[in-house]
Chain A
């Protein structure tokens, strides 16, 4: 069941969409803003609002890497694994994050605070290695900085 707010926000998007289908990505993002991820039942409800089959909408949802079809923690850590960050220290930084949080890619800490994911080039190559936590960009990140950075999100 979509909440009243979710339904209204999706209706707003539909009102300025050329086709209902074209509202699919924004609508999925609305669910994700409210719930952190897109569960099956919400996907089916959104599909109904967009006159799409849930199969077709899931084909869209699963294509886009930043639409989460599994639950995530309160904060998502995206670590850039593209070439400039790889040259400038991606692996040592990744090891530190994995050790500190005790999780690997696609996993969430037991206290549900952090989920760790790889991301392609963040467009901060002169500040490599770079990471994002939620909406915030950090770079260049040293291993020593990680405690302080993670501390901002406790």
Chain B
């Protein structure tokens, strides 16, 4: 089967130099886009059915179509790559950033061209030092070979690309928090509408896309929408980087057809559970997605199938909960993360998450009180979608509400037995 995202990645070697990348067909898509109008590039991406790989799964072609085009549009327009991978359990963009920088650069050029952007930025984790070095080297090579800068390959198209390293905080990965961080402010969110495509960075039209999403673009341009759809096993198109962490025999990352089942990923690729550990549940797509249980092992890992099962595909990197790990402790760790990362802007998140952390801590300590579980239940609604300024708190409620659904007895036992049964 074809694996376009990882075709040029050989972990035992250095990433391809620009010359080597060109020799295996790299930058062909850049030459091709200059024979098409930006609208035509948008059309093929829309037809491909590509959905965002950053967690939300919004159709990419549709996102781009909201950008005002033509001479009346405000300038400069920006293409921003969200390389601030920090969703717990997620480690897929790192692979692309460290090992195929030219693949990302090519995707950036094609995407920026499609929205008539003159400026592109990669917003990357401070902690991804190795990736920053690889990208810096590759960008310099691209400039030297006229793939970036003024009048790219004589096309008349000009694009400048810069790297901006984050200084920490999960909220920098939120689309509008990211824009505020780029503007030198605290990474608090902005109200939408207006959407960044219309009013974004410095008030100008801006598209923010995930690394893996952008990495798909050159392949869609080169091979077409039908080809991209045929790679998949479901209604969603393309391939997907799927990952597994936790007590499995072979934690790792694999490029597979979109719609591969949870069972196939866990058993055939991750080798199943380690000796002495049994499966209790799995978070399918990073910390802010609902836990799925044993009944869901045959669910296809695509956006609609996972939604139907009661969760979200998110980033597609799974975290396995084993039977030797306390579900209350599991959720406590996640809520601790979300509470710490709250930007403080809105009350339900800023005040609700620490309260939940306190309750979960006392459950673990054996000092939980009757009525505590009901408070947790209430918060799942109070911090749910529509009640907060951004999706951080609603995301935090996903593992909590699903843990209360599937492991409620375990929560009750902490109160009844006045201790954690796993300790």
Contact = CB atoms under 8 A, between A and B. Distances in A.
A60 B244 contact: no
B90 A123 contact: yes
B334 A87 contact: no
Please name the 4 residue pairs, one residue from A and one from B, whose CB atoms are nearest each other, closest first: A65-B168, A125-B245, A64-B167, A24-B184
Contacts of B125: 123
Nearest to B286: A121
Interface stretch (B100-108, B136-144, B246-254, B404-412): B246-254
Nearest to A135: B129
Given A63-B186, A67-B168, A82 B202 contact: no
Given A66-B167, A67-B167, A120-B86, A126 B91 contact: yes
Interface residues of A, number: 41
A29 B167 CA distance: 8
Nearest to B167: A64
Interface stretch (B296-304, B317-325, B354-362): B317-325
Contacts of B319: 83-84, 87, 125
Interface residues on B, range: 35 or more
B187 interface: yes
A35 B49 CA distance: 49
Contacts of A63: 169, 186-187, 343
A129 to B, nearest CB: 11
Interface string B283-303: 000010000000000000000
A29 to B, nearest CB: 6
Contacts of A59: 186
A82 B334 CA distance: 7
B128 A28 contact: no
Interface of A: 16-19, 21-26, 28-29, 59-60, 63-67, 78, 81-84, 86-88, 119-128, 132, 135-137
Contacts of B322: 87
B170 interface: yes
Contacts, number: 128
Q: Report which residue of B94, B127, B162, B322 has the largest number of chain A beta carbons within 10 angstroms of its beta carbon.
A: B127
A96 to B, nearest CB: 19
Given A18-B202, A87-B325, 10 more contacts: A21-B184, A28-B167, A63-B169, A83-B334, A84-B89, A87-B245, A87-B319, A120-B341, A121-B87, A126-B244
Nearest to B92: A123
A16 B121 CA distance: 13
Nearest to B320: A87
B325 A120 contact: no
Interface in B330-371: 330, 333-334, 336-337, 340-341, 343
B243 A126 contact: yes
Nearest to A64: B167
B85 interface: yes
B36 to A, nearest CB: 30
B184 A83 contact: no
Q: Report which residue of B85, B91, B167 has the largest number of chain A beta carbons within 10 angstroms of its beta carbon.
A: B167
